[in-house]
Amino acid sequence: MKFRAKIVDAACLNHFTRVSATIAKLAKTCTLRISPQKLNFIVSDKAASGGVSMWCELEQENFFSEFQMEGVSAENNAIYLELLSENLSRALKTAQNARALKIKLTNKHFPCLTVSIELLSVSSSSRIVTHDIPVKVIPRKLWKDLQEPTVPVSDVSIYLPVLKTMKSIVEKMKNISNHLIIEANLSGELNLKIETELVCVTTHFKDLGNPQSDIVRNKIIHFDLLHEDVSLQYFIPAFS
Amino acid sequence: MRCLVTGGNVKVLGKAVHSLSRIGDELYLEPLEDGLSLRTVNSSRSAYACFLFAPLFFQQYQAAGPGQEALRCKILMKSFLAVFRSLAAVERSVEKCCISLGGRSSRLVVQLHCRYGVRKTHNLSFQDCESLQAVFDPALCSNVLRAPARVLGEAVLPFPPALAEVTLGIGCGRRVILRSYQEEEADSTVKAMVTEMSLGEEDFQQLQAQEGVAITFCLRELRGLLSFAESANLSLSVHFDVPGRPAIFAVKDSLLDGHFVLATLSESDLHSPAPRSPELRRLVPPLQAHSTPHLDDFANDDIDSYMIAMETTVDSEGSRAVPSTSLSPGLRPPCSPGPYSEDNEAEASTQPGTPPPKKFRSLFFGSILAPAHSPPGPSPVLAEDSEGEG
């Protein structure tokens, strides 16, 4: 198994760092799947993550100037690594003023993802930061649990309102109740509601579009984020 | 004692107090002829910090009243820090700061003269104490490196703030390497991320050290000095020797000097670290090859070896190198029952309520007085600080 990749473009690096930071906020542990064309961050719906699952996909050529990988075998040309998402995020954050960033799979008494960053420096000599992120190689027999979830047939699908607005509303609601009720219909209306013994608060959003494709099903809420070269799908199981 | 600090120096003083507060809970204030010294030591006696502000730092400086002996005192760091809690506020509004001790007041009085005629007076209770003195001599260290504090500040940036220990060493190609040090727990399945920063020789104003030499010390304790030096735009010099001997971090300018002396892990404490990078692979073996176990002159039951040497008189010999108390693997430290005995020496155990287990022994507080020259009078060590020792 081999993996080595390099990022030289500052914008790509920045973007990759932000994706990694987002993953770190969503899940403590995640699986990084490396294949010839793509990188995936996967959180499977085990009990540990509270039933939440996530699938994030990046086209590698949009980020890396060099990318070489050799999977477990020719027929199974992929590598699945389990790691603490915070480690990767922290490592990437130190690459603020980097000339180049290299990632490779190494074995330093235990498997690691080594992130090596060459920093811009005022003096003539370069400064190099190296992070060895311990990883666990996931054996092939467990790969079946880490495949892209099929998008379930949904009852309602809707475009969300401006995320910043939604975020600030949900954050305030978080202080009042642990459970959030989401109601949406095919007329572009979305309600976010919390109910407690003392109070009931509802925020109504109107005139949101309803896309063609199906997203929400009774039991699972599927959030699909599409942004430039990254797609992130987040599944939250519903209570009822 | 009476000293008056004005203008920008008030903030400098405040910043110094902030950095001292990262080390210890008690501040020893001593007005000397060559300036006001502020010192502290941590609870496990493995870190000592001292700032000396020259008389010229002050608008007025009077170490002692006429005909009086200089008073010295020990105050709660928390109390003194509270005066300078918000450096931004200090910078914005404080015009003068007057510190006085003695006279009729039985308190240490710190008075801040602020804008708009506001005057804030802090009356801090203090305890009389003996002089806190650690014996160390940078000139006796065989390795020195010096760089602008900004360079070192940038060098530690990749390390998480929570990281306790870091290894500093010289790798091949004369590169200066900082690597996070994690004690390996045998039964731990979760490995920690290892971070390493490598700097070129050109970043340093002075680099006098052999390739392969390395020391491991507590980064958290150094951060205070680093941030002080960065804000004052000073260079920081690091003087160190073999692992186990304390490392001295120093800053200096015409008006002040600061020294942070930190214990380093000795050979017997260091597990053989897995070689991380090609440079350090070469760093590790030479480390072990050059190790020369130091036999402690005071190795036996001399309890003083592990305690602060309290001077009751000025040491006319000047500072001397401390006898090394890093023990060869064969020697075990005596389990001294005194309040200063380093509980962690006998075993690397965790005791609830004590600071995180440190393998650092209180290495550098050797008794500067050979047994034959012990000063007469009560041993001030045990009596004096027993109430302060948690």
Interior/surface letters B56-90, b for 16+ CB within 10 angstroms, e for the rest: ebbeebbbbeeeeeebbbbbbbebbbebbeebeeb
Q: Is B303 helix (H, G, I), strand (E, B) or coil?
A: helix
Please give the Cα distance from B360 to B262 (Å, whole number): 9
Residues B124, B161 share a domain: no
For residue B282, tell me if it sits in a domain. no
CB B233 within 8 A of CB B220: no
Q: What angle do CA A96, A97, A103 make, to 5 degrees?
A: 70
Cβ contact, residue pair B195, A91, below 8 Å: yes
Q: List residues in chain B touching A: CB distance below 8 A.
A: 154-155, 157-158, 160, 190-203, 274-277
Please give the Cα distance from B176 to B214 (Å, whole number): 10
Residues A174, A141 share a domain: no
Residues B123, B20 share a domain: yes
For residue B364, tell me if it sits in a domain. no
Residues A125, A20 share a domain: yes
From chain B, pick out residues whose CB is under 8 angstroms from the CB of A95.
none
* Range scoring the smallest mean pLDDT among A206-215, B89-98, B118-127: A206-215
For residue B337, tell me if it sits in a domain. no
Last residue of a domain, one of A145, A168, A193: A145
- pLDDT given for residue B267 in this prediction: 75
Q: Is A183 helix (H, G, I), strand (E, B) or coil?
A: strand
For residue B313, tell me if it sits in a domain. no
Residues B113, B167 share a domain: no
Residues B115, B176 share a domain: no
Nearest CA in chain A to B159: A94
A133 at the B interface (CB within 8 A)? yes
CB B126 within 8 A of CB B74: yes
Please say if the pLDDT value at position B77 is more than 50.
Answer: yes
Nearest CA in chain B to A82: B190
| Backbone φ/ψ region at B103: left (φ over 0), alpha (ψ -120 to 50), beta | left
- pLDDT given for residue B185 in this prediction: 66
Residues B109, B167 share a domain: no
Residues A128, A35 share a domain: yes
Indicate the helix (H) or strand (E) that contains B97. strand B94-100
The C-alpha of B231 sits at a distance from chain A's nearest C-alpha, in angstroms, of 19
The C-alpha of A188 sits at a distance from chain B's nearest C-alpha, in angstroms, of 46
Residues A98, A29 share a domain: yes
Q: How many CB pairs under 8 A join A and B?
A: 62
Please give the Cα distance from A131 to B158 (Å, whole number): 9
- pLDDT given for residue B349 in this prediction: 35
For residue A229, tell me if it sits in a domain. no
Please say if the pLDDT value at position B165 is more than 50.
Answer: yes
Please say if the pLDDT value at position B298 is more than 50.
Answer: no
Q: Is B134 helix (H, G, I), strand (E, B) or coil?
A: coil
Last residue of a domain, one of A96, A121, A145: A145
Listing DSSP states for B8-26 in one string gives HHHHHHHHHHHHHHTT-SE
- pLDDT given for residue A234 in this prediction: 73
What's chain B's Rg over C-alpha atoms?
21
Indicate the helix (H) or strand (E) that contains A174. helix A163-174
Could you tell me the CA-to-CA distances from B389 to B20, B173, B382 in Å, in that order?
A: 18, 46, 10
Residues B167, B119 share a domain: no
- pLDDT given for residue A238 in this prediction: 66
**Tokens describing residue B312:** 């009751």
Residues A192, A135 share a domain: no
Please say if the pLDDT value at position B156 is more than 70.
Answer: yes
A87 at the B interface (CB within 8 A)? yes
List residues bridging with A202 in a β-sheet.
Answer: A193
The C-alpha of B197 sits at a distance from chain A's nearest C-alpha, in angstroms, of 4
Indicate the helix (H) or strand (E) that contains B32. strand B26-32
What residue ranges in chain A does DSSP mark as E strands? Answer: 2-7, 29-34, 38-43, 53-59, 66-70, 79-84, 98-107, 111-119, 127-134, 136-137, 181-184, 190-195, 200-205, 220-227, 230-237
Residues A175, A131 share a domain: no
Please say if the pLDDT value at position B252 is more than 80.
Answer: yes
Please say if the pLDDT value at position B219 is more than 90.
Answer: yes
Residues B159, B114 share a domain: no
* Range scoring the smallest mean pLDDT among A161-170, B129-138, B237-246, B381-390: B381-390
Average pLDDT over residues A122-149: 87
Look at chain B and report how many structural domains it folds into.
2
> Between these two residues, A54 and B277, which has the higher pLDDT value?
A54
Nearest CA in chain A to B199: A127
- pLDDT given for residue B192 in this prediction: 86
Residue (of B341, B340, B351) closest to B386 by Cα position? B340
* Range scoring the smallest mean pLDDT among A139-143, A220-224, B127-131: A220-224
Residues A198, A110 share a domain: no
Look at chain A and report how many structural domains it folds into.
2
For residue A225, tell me if it sits in a domain. no
The C-alpha of A142 sits at a distance from chain B's nearest C-alpha, in angstroms, of 20
Please say if the pLDDT value at position B274 is more than 80.
Answer: no
Cβ contact, residue pair A125, B193, below 8 Å: no
Please say if the pLDDT value at position B370 is more than 60.
Answer: no
The C-alpha of A72 sits at a distance from chain B's nearest C-alpha, in angstroms, of 24
- pLDDT given for residue A96 in this prediction: 83
For residue A212, tell me if it sits in a domain. yes
Top mean-pLDDT range of A112-116, B291-295, B308-312:
A112-116
Q: How many residues does chain B have?
A: 390
- The residue range of the domain holding B106 is 2-128
Please give the Cα distance from B221 to A76 (Å, whole number): 49
Please give the Cα distance from B155 to A127 (Å, whole number): 9
Assign residue B31 the CATH number of its domain: 3.70.10.10
Listing DSSP states for A68-116 in one string gives EEE-SSSTT--EEEEEEHHHHHHHHHTTTTEEEEEEEEEESSSEEEEEE
- pLDDT given for residue B270 in this prediction: 62
Residue (of B311, B290, B252) closest to B169 by Cα position? B290
Mean pLDDT score across all residues of chain B: 73
- pLDDT given for residue A160 in this prediction: 83
**Tokens describing residue B159:** 């390390």
Please say if the pLDDT value at position A189 is more than 50.
Answer: yes
DSSP state, A59? E
Residues A204, A139 share a domain: no
Please give the Cα distance from A177 to B125 (Å, whole number): 48
Residues B170, B111 share a domain: no
For residue A121, tell me if it sits in a domain. yes
ipTM > 0.95 (yes/no): no
Residues A101, A26 share a domain: yes
Please say if the pLDDT value at position B95 is more than 90.
Answer: yes
Tell me the whole-structure pTM to 2 decimals.
Answer: 0.73
**Tokens describing residue B276:** 């991380």
pLDDT tens, position by position, B309-348 = 332 223 333 333 333 333 333 333 333 333 333 333 333 3
For residue A236, tell me if it sits in a domain. no
- pLDDT given for residue B290 in this prediction: 28
- The residue range of the domain holding A206 is 154-218
Residue (of A134, A140, A150, A147) closest to A44 by Cα position? A147
φ and ψ at B263, to 5 degrees? -70, 150
Please say if the pLDDT value at position A43 is more than 90.
Answer: no
Task: Compute the CA torsion angle A114, A120, A121, A125 (nearest 10 deg).
Answer: 60
Neighbouring residues of A148: CB distance < 8 A, sequence distance ≥ 6? A40, A55, A57
Please give the Cα distance from B83 to B101 (Å, whole number): 16
Out of B194, B198, B275, the one facing A127 most closely (by C-beta) is: B198
List residues bridging with A136 in a β-sheet.
Answer: A82
- pLDDT given for residue A21 in this prediction: 92
> Between these two residues, A224 and B39, which has the higher pLDDT value?
B39
Residue with tokens 């995180």: B356
Please give the Cα distance from B170 to A63 (Å, whole number): 35
Cβ contact, residue pair B198, A121, below 8 Å: no
Please give the Cα distance from B126 to A138 (Å, whole number): 61
Residues B169, B86 share a domain: no
Q: Could you count the other beta carbons within 10 Å of the beta carbon of residue A187?
A: 11
CB B181 within 8 A of CB B167: yes
Residues A96, A173 share a domain: no
A125 at the B interface (CB within 8 A)? yes
For residue B114, tell me if it sits in a domain. yes
